[in-house]
Amino acid sequence: MAEAPAEADAGQSIAARLRGGRSAVAMLAGQGSAEARRLSPEICEYLESKGVPVREEPPPSADLGLVVSLGGDGLMMRSARRYPDVPVLGINFGHLGFLTAAEAGAWRSAIDRVFEDEFQLRVGPTLAARVVTAGGDQSADLGWAVNDVVVHGGLRMVHPQLFVDGQYVNDYPGDGMVVSTPAGSTAYCMAAGGPVLVSGVGGVAVVPINCHSPIRVSLIVPEDVELGIRLDGRNEANLILDGEVEGYPRLPPGATVFVRKGRYSFRQISFKSFDWFAAFQSKFNYQIRRGGRVPTLPG
């Protein structure tokens, strides 16, 4: 997952509120990690020793100043959706953990760095999804996603038609289509052959999945446009937000999914020493040939 631009001033105010005990911390431990569940009480106790109220998986509230996510990238996304606009500190107890700020063994130093203002707050867009039936007589807001909104045909070919701000772009017969934020560009977007949006790049990636057409290129569109994906043909499709399909309706032929920038932001704690490209090389085994030298300018 690519980074978003940093907000230093916001980070300082977060640390000040935590140090003063004016904000509480929400603690979420991944249910699939025995180590995360084992360490969760110890981490809670360490935070409380700093004078911070800690609540385990509380309902959203105005006094939450930080979410500590003990898991992988999936738990980071669920944390962001559960607590909109609240900064998330991810400590990796998962397999990949590209989005997380620290590995499990460094949880104590990660918390110390947050309290000492030695971090950055990276803010990225989210995606809001709405579906309208073929006749336009039924419409439903489906929530929002941190990573991506996906229309997928499953075992059958589907025929999505793409519109950008109401303008027709093309038909993409195949397995479906991915609409991805920069943060999600190293998830399904990259796996489907789409682009990786590195730190500071604005926009949204639109990627056809296994398109059965010579015109199959991905697009990068401004993040403030409205995308329409109309399901042409005879087959239904699944709607998937951040990898989750349960709770979302099957899309009948003729339905249109509208995707636009969400009202919330994804706020991620990151440390100033973080090297995005080094992390990308390490997590995805991207660097085939080792030992690249950094060029220097003369003078």
Q: Global pTM?
A: 0.85
List, by residue number, the catalytic residues.
73
* Greatest mean pLDDT range, 136-140, 157-161, 285-289: 157-161
Closest to 107 (Cα-Cα) out of 48, 23, 42, 51: 42
The secondary structure of residue 158, as a DSSP letter, is: B
| Run of H or E including 251 | none
Average pLDDT over residues 16-32: 90
Please give the angle made by the CA atoms of 236, 148 and 207, to the nearest 5 degrees.
Answer: 70
Angle, helices 34-48/107-115, rounded to nearest 10 degrees = 30
CATH code linked to domain 6-119+271-284: 3.40.50.10330
Average pLDDT over residues 99-125: 92
Pairing of strands 88-92, 64-71: parallel
Q: What pLDDT is attached to residue 36?
A: 94
In 92-228, where does DSSP find H-type helix?
107-115, 188-191
Q: Percent of the chain having pLDDT more than 70?
A: 87
Considering the four listed CATH numbers 2.40.110.10, 3.40.50.300, 2.60.200.30, 1.10.10.10, the one that applies to the domain covering 126-263 is: 2.60.200.30
**pLDDT at residue 111 is higher than 90:** yes
The per-residue pLDDT of the chain, averaged, comes to: 88
DSSP-assigned beta bridge partners for residue 232: 159
Q: Give span(s): CATH 3.40.50.10330, the chain.
A: 6-119+271-284
DSSP states along 195-245: ----TT--SEEEEEES-SSS----EEE-TTS-EEEEEESS--BEEEETTB-
Distance (Å, rounded) from C-alpha 42 to C-alpha 286? 35
Q: Which residues 6+ apart lie within 8 Å of 107 measured at CB?
A: 39, 43, 70, 91
Helices and strands, counts by H and E, the chain: 6, 17
Q: Give span(s): CATH 2.60.200.30, the chain.
A: 126-263
Average pLDDT over residues 82-111: 90
